[in-house]
Amino acid sequence: MDKHSSNIKRRRLMQAGGALAGIAAVGPWSLAQAQSGGRIVVGTWGGDYSKLLSKNIDTPLMVPKKYEVVHDIGGDPERRAKMRAEARLPRGTSDLQGLSAAQMFEMNDAGLCLPIDYAKIPNAQYLLPQMKYPYGVGHIYSGKVILYNPKLISTPPTSFADALNAKHGNKLGIIDIQYQFTMMAAALASGGSMTNYEPGKERLIACRKAGAKILPTNEAMAQALQNEEVGICIMWKARAVQWQKAGAKVETVAPKEGVPLYISGFVIPKNAPNKDGAHFWLNEMLEPSAQEAFAEDMGYNATVINAKIPPETEKRIGFNAEERKRLVDLDYSYLAKNDAALKEWWDKTFKG
Amino acid sequence: MAAVVASPARTLAPGWTAAAMVAPASIVVTIGIVVPILILFRYSLNQYTPAKMMVDAVTIENYAKFFTDPFYVAILLRTIRVAALCTAICVVLAFPMAYCLARTRSRFKNLLLMVVILPLFVGNAVRAAGWMVLFGNRGFVNTLLMESGITREPLQIMYTELAVVIGIIAVNLPFVVLTLQAVLEGIDRAIEEAAQGLGAGPWRTFGHVILPLAMPGVVAGTILSFILAMNAYATPVLLGGPTFQMMGPTVYNQFAGLSNWPFGAALSFVLMTATLLLTVTSNWVAHRRYRR
């Protein structure tokens, strides 16, 4: 019995020793992992946006803290489809997804987003209230304005009603992928509202009949403005600034009906493998240095109040006090509920 | 002597040998194609709701929506028209090219074949981007036309059916040429010489001798080109623009743009079935016509 007991003790001692040896072996690794932060997969659009995320956030702010940041590049439709397809998996393949505010709402509505733990994002204390969603964080914002070429459009427009007008004939350009904002602007110009786009449809049909050009992408519109095939359109002010920098001779006007906000931000999928890392990345995204660099490089406004944007940049990309009063947010619930019907009308009736 | 006699225990029955040879490819096809198609078919019977995207159901409402909506039927008919036109032009253009390649004794034959294959080294999207440079309002074609005084205003080539047809022909032509060339190589030159020796002219030789013998290649090339054109995606998107809609981009738009997987799956099945039916029918007609 004693012998047996001593055997058990010895065995337990050996087990404890083994466990200690295991902790000793694993401990430094865990510590290193904790210090390194690990790998973060950021779902994002490609092109300039992805490059600037690397240049302004990943390389200067994440890499020194031993994080490895990988970009999962793709259009938002593909990435949203991926989020939906991965929803049943215990572990997804991305830690963050870059989406517009409307898409963030839609993904949260589908139950795919992790509630943001703002206690883990100290920089969120400086975040503009409109950019702070329970399910996502706004990264940059701009507003929908009118772009026109004074050489082709002699009377400067002041409103969406002036811009989305059949009188411009084939000098009016409309971007296909911007169907939601175009229908919204047409609605605002025709007595509609953020929760009723119906009144704008007649106006859009009239423009189409008058020869308005439908261009597939923002880039195609930039080219059409540059070539003077198009003289007037509606677009984010940030893009207008980029196109002006590229040599397009266009002026911008904040429409008097209101300036619809475009907010781009990030959500954390519920099954993100590195949720802490994702929160840390969001915190670094809101660092003033990163926000200032995005304003300068991309023409979008900062979403934190402690970013110091140079006055000349602010003048170029921002909105004055009067215009700021007209900034209006979208009704994301209305958009989510009606998007399929709006797109169907756009494809069948407007373009068809 | 005993060493060369195979042991019966080690020899597989002919049926098993064939099964062993077919099995790897069959497994890949089953896992990679049949299973996803079955899943897709199941999805096509589900219901769509904007919030949940897909709700389990067994309904034919997605198919009914397609066939009762003239908008979607018009897209299918347009796709069939474009695919048939592109295929017909491809076969007409490819035949003389393939014939020359098959009959040439030039030492540059391999080089000529490489020239035909070369466009296949470039992806469809890249090729379409090239056409965009040519067809744009300030592109090469319009600049040439305006500089030479033929036109005063740029012609609208981009975002038209013409641009899509040219783009798809450019993609499909090498496939048809190579298919026809392989069959024409196998036709003995002596048969043509015999026909001509019996007094048949070049057109009669072509119509009564070469074409019937080359028919397996024509059918194969036609099927290949038709399937590729029916399912074209990059070319209609990039050259057709937002207002020219074909089935491939419409399927993608339902899945990725609107997250309407049930209707997207139904569209996929309609496209797949239409392609299959038309292909089988044309194959059957061709075989009946040239059975002799």
pLDDT digits (tens, 9 = 90+) for B23-75: 998 899 888 989 999 999 999 999 998 777 789 999 999 999 999 999 999 99
Residue type, A78: E
Q: What is the pLDDT of residue B226?
A: 96
Residue B196's domain is classified under what CATH number? 1.10.3720.10
Question: Between residues A173 and B50, which one has the greater pLDDT?
Answer: A173
At residue B201, φ and ψ (nearest 5 deg) are -80, 175
Q: What is the pLDDT of residue B21?
A: 87
B286's tokens: 């061709």
Of B237, B243, B257, nearest to A343 by CB-CB distance is B257
The per-residue pLDDT for range A234-272, each reduced to its tens digit, is 999 998 988 988 888 899 999 999 999 999 999 999 999
Strand, coil or helix: A344: helix
Q: What is the pLDDT of residue A22?
A: 44
Instruction: Tell me the pLDDT band of A12, cut-offs 50, 70 and 90.
Output: low
Please check whether residue B52 lies inside any domain of the structure. Answer: no
Q: Which of B136, B97, B77, B108 shows the shortest CA–CA distance to B217?
A: B97
Q: What is the pLDDT of residue A11?
A: 52
Q: What is the pLDDT of residue A2?
A: 42
Domain span at residue B134?
A: 58-289
Among A67-71, A170-174, A220-224, A262-266, name the one with the lowest average pLDDT: A220-224
Question: Between residues A230 and A9, which one has the greater pLDDT?
Answer: A230
Please check whether residue B178 lies inside any domain of the structure. Answer: yes
Of A80, A176, A214, nearest to B259 by CB-CB distance is A80
Arithmetic mean of pLDDT over chain A: 89
Residue type, A88: R
B289 has pLDDT over 80: no
Question: Between residues A147 and A325, which one has the greater pLDDT?
Answer: A147
Average of pLDDT values for A97-120? 95
Q: What is the pLDDT of residue A246?
A: 85
Residue A129 DSSP symbol: G
In whole angstroms, what is the distance from residue B216 CA to residue B173 CA? 17
A32 has pLDDT over 80: no
In whole angstroms, what is the distance from residue A233 CA to residue A173 CA? 5
The per-residue pLDDT for range A321-343, each reduced to its tens digit, is 899 889 999 999 999 889 889 99
Please check whether residue B209 lies inside any domain of the structure. Answer: yes
Which residues of chain A make contact with B241, given a CB cutoff of 8 A?
A: 176, 214-216
A266 Cβ contact partners less than 8 Å away, ≥ 6 residues apart: A42, A96, A97, A98, A99, A136, A137, A139, A281, A282, A285
- pTM for this predicted structure: 0.80
Q: Is A7 exposed, middle or buried (0-12, 13-18, 19+ CB in 10 A)?
A: exposed
B4 has pLDDT over 80: no
The per-residue pLDDT for range B194-227, each reduced to its tens digit, is 999 999 999 999 999 999 999 999 999 999 999 9
Strand, coil or helix: A71: strand
Contact A63/A36 with Cβ under 8 angstroms? no
Of B137, B253, B258, nearest to A227 by CB-CB distance is B137
For residue A334, the distance in angstroms to the closest alpha carbon of chain B comes to 11
Cβ contact, residue pair B53, A84, below 8 Å? yes
Q: Which of B179, B173, B176, B183 shows the shortest CA–CA distance to B119?
A: B173
Please check whether residue B228 lies inside any domain of the structure. Answer: yes
Q: Give the CATH class of A34-141+263-321.
A: alpha beta
* Number of domain units in chain B: 1
CATH, domain range A142-261+330-350:
3.40.190.10
B102's tokens: 């098959």
Which residues of chain B make contact with A80, given a CB cutoff of 8 A?
A: 256, 259
Q: Give the side-chain half-sphere CA count within 13 A for A111.
A: 7
Q: In Å, how far are A139, A141, A323, B94 from A238, measured between CA atoms?
A: 14, 8, 15, 49
Instruction: Tell me the pLDDT band of B2, cut-offs 50, 70 and 90.
Output: very low
Strand, coil or helix: A38: strand
DSSP B168-210: HHHHHHHHHHHHHHHHHHTS-HHHHHHHHHTT--HHHHIIIII
For residue B50, the distance in angstroms to the closest alpha carbon of chain A comes to 6
For β-strands A327-328 and A259-267, DSSP reports them as: parallel
The per-residue pLDDT for range A203-237, each reduced to its tens digit, is 999 999 999 999 998 888 998 998 899 999 999 99
Q: What is the pLDDT of residue B213?
A: 93
Portion of chain A with pLDDT greater than 90, in percent: 72
Which residues of chain B make contact with A336, given a CB cutoff of 8 A?
A: 50-51
Could you count the other beta carbons within 10 Å of the beta carbon of residue A191? 13
A47 has pLDDT over 80: yes
Residue A261 DSSP symbol: E
Please check whether residue B230 lies inside any domain of the structure. Answer: yes
Q: What is the pLDDT of residue A31?
A: 37
Contact A90/A246 with Cβ under 8 angstroms? no
Average of pLDDT values for B97-107? 93
Q: Which long-range contacts (CB under 8 A, 24 or more apart) does A209-212 make?
A: A209/A166, A210/A166, A210/A167, A210/A168, A210/A169, A210/A170, A210/A172, A211/A169, A211/A170, A211/A172, A212/A166, A212/A168, A212/A169, A212/A170, A212/A172, A212/A173, A212/A174
For residue B258, the distance in angstroms to the closest alpha carbon of chain A comes to 6
Contact A349/A205 with Cβ under 8 angstroms? yes
Query: What value does the CA radius of gyration of chain B take, rounded to a whole number of Å?
Result: 25
